[in-house]
Amino acid sequence: VISFTISEISNMLCNSCNDDIFDDDLLTCSICNEYFHFMCAALREATFRKMSKITKSKWACNKCKFNENAQPVNETQNKKTVHNITNENFNNLTDSVKFMSDKFDGFGTQLQELLSSVKEMREENRVLKEQNIKFNNEIILLVNRVNTLEQKAFDNFIEIVGVPETKDENIVETVKTIITKLGVETTVNRAFRVPSKIMNKPRKLVAELSTRLCSSNTITNSRKTKPKGNMFHEKWGM
């Protein structure tokens, strides 16, 4: 009859043959804590099977038995020795994960800074648009004011056509004479002739009166009386 035993997969290696050891065949050195097959430790199977737990716990391998300087190794040190490679690999993996994590953290920071910059640019653009609209409205208001002021400035002006030109004429006095004849009392601030494209005809007179009312009354009276040249000066003809 063939008998066999089913056991868990061993994670212990014999210090002598470097092969797997199952619990049923295991001897552990009480000094160096290394694992051995009982056969690799030069024990017969019958002898090994008769060993009590206390005897096994005090057993020492030949190397430690004949080494006067050998000292027992504590359990923690033994575990570190057994799992040294595993721990090293784990540490390497941890370092790699940390490295990648730092990289992602750096990328996240850069992305956040970029998003913040975009947000600031959008806000600046919005402010600039609002300012542009405000400036455009102010420009429109200024243009309207200028037009109004120009219109008001010209409200005091009158234009006189057909007055003969004379050498060394006093245009201000000429305009004042005409306005007085039309029954309006005012001050003529300034007067001048405007160039004309029509040849052989006197240039127009433009005069600035003291008030808009005087200008309006002068124009109204002129339309009513329809004055002739000799009404203002005998040499101006009929």
Residue type, 37: H
Overall number of domains in the chain: 2
What are the pLDDT tens digits along the chain (238 aa)? 444 444 444 568 999 999 888 888 899 999 999 999 999 998 999 999 999 999 999 999 988 888 866 666 555 555 555 455 466 667 777 877 878 877 777 888 888 889 999 999 999 999 999 999 999 999 998 888 887 777 777 788 988 888 888 888 898 998 988 889 888 888 889 999 988 777 788 888 899 998 888 888 888 988 888 877 767 776 665 4
- In CATH, what number is assigned to the domain containing residue 29? 3.30.40.10
- In CATH, what number is assigned to the domain containing residue 225? 3.30.70
**Residue 72 within any structural domain of the chain:** no
Q: What is the pLDDT of residue 5?
A: 43
Q: What is the pLDDT of residue 238?
A: 40
End of a domain among 12, 36, 66? 66
**Residue 83 within any structural domain of the chain:** no
End of a domain among 66, 93, 126? 66
Are 24 and 7 contacting, i.e. CB atoms less than 8 angstroms apart? yes
Q: What is the pLDDT of residue 38?
A: 92
Strand boundaries in the chain, DSSP class E: 26-28, 35-37, 157-160, 188-194, 204-209
What is the value of pTM for the model shown?
0.38
**Residue 207 within any structural domain of the chain:** yes
| CA–CA separation, 236 and 238 (whole Å) | 7
**Residue 91 within any structural domain of the chain:** no
3-state helix, strand, coil in the chain (%, to 5): 55, 10, 35
**Residue 17 within any structural domain of the chain:** no
Domain that holds residue 57: 23-66
End of a domain among 13, 38, 66? 66
